[in-house]
Structures are given as C-alpha cells and as structure tokens.
Amino acid sequence: MIARKLADLGVDVIEAGFPASSEGEFIATKKIFEEVGDQVEVIGLSRSNKNDIDKTISTGISSIHLFIATSELHMKYKLKMTKEEVLNKIYESVKYAKDHGMIVEFSPEDATRTEEDFLFTAIRTAIEAGAERINIPDTVGTMHPFKYYDMIKKIVNFVGERIIVSVHCHNDFGLATANSLAGVYAGAKQAHVTVNGIGERAGNASLEEVVMGIKKLLNYETNVKTWKLYEVSRFVAEMTGVPVPYFKAIVGDNAFGHESGIHVHGVIENPFTYEPISPEEVGNFRRLALGKHSGIHGLKKLLEEQGIYLSEDKLKIVLAEIKKLAESGNKVTVEDAKNIALKLMNS
C-alpha cells in the first residue's frame, strides 16, 4: 500500500527491501515490483556476497543496491577484512550482478569516515566492475553541509557525467536534510530519503524536507507531486504507528500553525510573510490558534469566521480573557473565544 502511494507520489526509485534478510522482505520486494514496477524503478538492498545477490535477483527486480563498508573502523571490527579483501568483494559482487543483467548502485558504507584515497579506490573499483550509480552514505550522520558539499563535488568530478552520484544522509546531528541538499547542490542527481525521516537511530533524511528544499531552496525540479506529501506522510505514520512530530517541517501539524499575534496579522495580510511555502503546495493545512500570544487581528478573523462581529473595544476585552485563560494553563479554542464573545454581547 505504501509502495502504491510512493509510485503515485512520483518518486523515481523505491528501495523496497533487503530480500536476503527475511522471507517477508523477499516477498515484499517481489510483490512491490509486481505491483508498481511498471511505474517506478524498484531496487533491492544487498550485501556484497553471492547469496544476497542471488536472492535479490530471484525477486524478479532488475536493480540492485550493493554495499560494503570501507572505513577502517568497519573493516577492522565489523567485517574483519583487509582493504584488499574489501576491494575484491566490491569488484566481484558488482561484476556478478552486472553479469546477471542488473542495474547496479554501489555504496561504500561509512563513506564519510573512510580514508579519502581508499574511498576513491573503492569507487573506481565499483565503476570498473560496471556500477552505474555511486551512493555516498553518511552512515552515522557525522558530516556537516560544507564538508559534505566538498566531498560530493570531488566525487562528481571524479566519476564523470556517465555515473550518477547519490546521497544518503543520516540524522544523528539533525543535519540529514542540510547534508542531502548540500550534496545535491554539489552535483548529486539522486537522494536517498524516507517518508517522515524514519530510520535507524535518529532516522534518515526526510523525503518531504529534501523534496521541498530541492524545489524551493535550490530551485531544481523533482518528479514528486508535492501536494500529496502530507497525505503520504500521514498514511505512513498510520501504517507504521510512528507519529509525525508536531513541529516537523513541511508535514507536522504545526508546520503552518500560527498563534503569535504579529504572525497571524502578517499571514492574514499576506501568507508569505510567515509561510515560506503555502500549505496547499504540500497538502498540509494552515492552523490559526488562540493563546497568550494572540492579537486583535487574528481574534477578529477567527470570530468573524464564526459569524461574530465585535467592536474594537469588545475585541480587546475578549482578547484579555483569552490571555488570562491561556496563562492559567488552559488550551484556548475558537469555541472558548466564541463563548466569551457571546457572553459579552449578551451582558
């Protein structure tokens, strides 16, 4: 169901699963390919070994994302392999997948903590074996945008026009979106993202933020129908049981929420004063709230929407009541404002 939503949203690629990791992932990847493979590229994640590759191929998909770690830390403690062994694995696995007709994306896992010379050797090895996409994972989110920009720029120049460079950013320092945008600005043509930024630890770069950043901040185009972002976000939240944070950019319930009087006044006059994106553009909604920060303009508008028209003096009285209510720890609703106004009108 999520894959259908993503295909409809207009993403270019869905990484459907890791077929060798379980029967469920195998079936899901196969089914997703059968359901939406005619609309969107479906790719499967795989370690750099024959067993995982064979399993991925047997789902019927024709794109594979191969990865193996290249940092000293991961090679020594996790893989227990030498550099030479890792390079051999890269060459053999990419070549094997290519010989089976796959489109190959290769990731040097933990790329951003990999010694530079070795990283370039690993990338060159993957390309020589036939990889057509190189993904540069910031596996534990330790880059910052300036550094990641420089790194991606160098890699884009190194691999040339024929190879697509991709970015994959984790959010351990809250920089996944910023780093993804820095990578795209440096020439990456693909970004790995997840709906609502869900993922291991602090999560991955969020689809909604990266898409809107590319569109509005970099002024590049994607194929994503941005007005469906909110709907997809909520669908994934419901299916996963992982709620969307209230203050989440783009798709959070408060992403277009305004309470402060000065802001609400600005938005009433011209929404662009306090909304860099219009809520409709991402399928979200504007929410004007009442509270201790409210001002006359916003209160007037909310009451008039309820059919209540008060003089300036009366509005001031209602506003004072609202602030008092809010400051005593209550959440103030439009209904509260309406009741206060009606009481005043009848007194």
Ligand X SMILES: CC(C)C(=O)C(=O)O
Q: Which amino acid is at 10?
A: G
168 makes contact with ligand X (CB under 6 A) = yes
Q: How many residues does the structure list for the chain?
A: 347
Residue 218, CA distances (Å) to 37, 62, 187 in order:
30, 32, 12
Pick the closer one to ligand ACO by CB: 25 or 259.
25
Measured between alpha carbons, how far is 72 from 79 in angstroms, rounded to an integer? Answer: 10
Measured between alpha carbons, how far is 114 from 184 in angstroms, rounded to an integer? Answer: 20
Min dist CB 74 to ligand ACO, Å, is 8
Pick the closer one to ligand ACO by CB: 78 or 287.
78
Per the CB < 8 A criterion, the answer to whether 87 and 81 are in contact is: no
Q: Give the footprint of ligand X on residues 62-81 (CB under 6 A).
A: 67
Q: Give the footprint of ligand ACO on residues 52-91 (CB under 6 A).
A: 67-68, 78-79
- Owner of token pair 């277009």: 256
Q: Which amino acid is at 20?
A: A
What does 18 bind: ligand ACO, ligand X, none (CB cut-off 5 to 8 Å by kind)? ligand ACO
The residues, ordered by sequence, that sit 6+ positions from 85 with a Cβ below 8 Å of its Cβ are 79
Stretch in the footprint of ligand X (CB under 6 A) among 131-139, 228-236, 277-285, 298-306: 131-139
Min dist CB 65 to ligand X, Å, is 7
Q: Give the footprint of ligand X on residues 78-117 (CB under 6 A).
A: 107, 109
What does 107 bind: ligand ACO, ligand X, none (CB cut-off 5 to 8 Å by kind)? ligand X
What does 21 bind: ligand ACO, ligand X, none (CB cut-off 5 to 8 Å by kind)? ligand ACO
What does 168 bind: ligand X, ligand ACO, none (CB cut-off 5 to 8 Å by kind)? ligand X
The residues, ordered by sequence, that sit 6+ positions from 299 with a Cβ below 8 Å of its Cβ are 290, 315, 318, 319, 322, 337
Q: Give the footprint of ligand ACO on residues 172-201 (CB under 6 A).
A: none
Measured between alpha carbons, how far is 284 from 220 in angstroms, rounded to an integer? Answer: 22
What does 49 bind: ligand X, ligand ACO, none (CB cut-off 5 to 8 Å by kind)? ligand ACO
Number of Cβ within 10 Å of residue 217's Cβ equals 12
Number of chain positions touching ligand X (CB under 6 A): 8
Per the CB < 8 A criterion, the answer to whether 165 and 190 are in contact is: yes
Pick the closer one to ligand ACO by CB: 179 or 294.
179
Which stretches of the chain bind ligand ACO, using CB under 6 A? Answer: 18, 20-22, 47-49, 67-68, 78-79, 109, 139
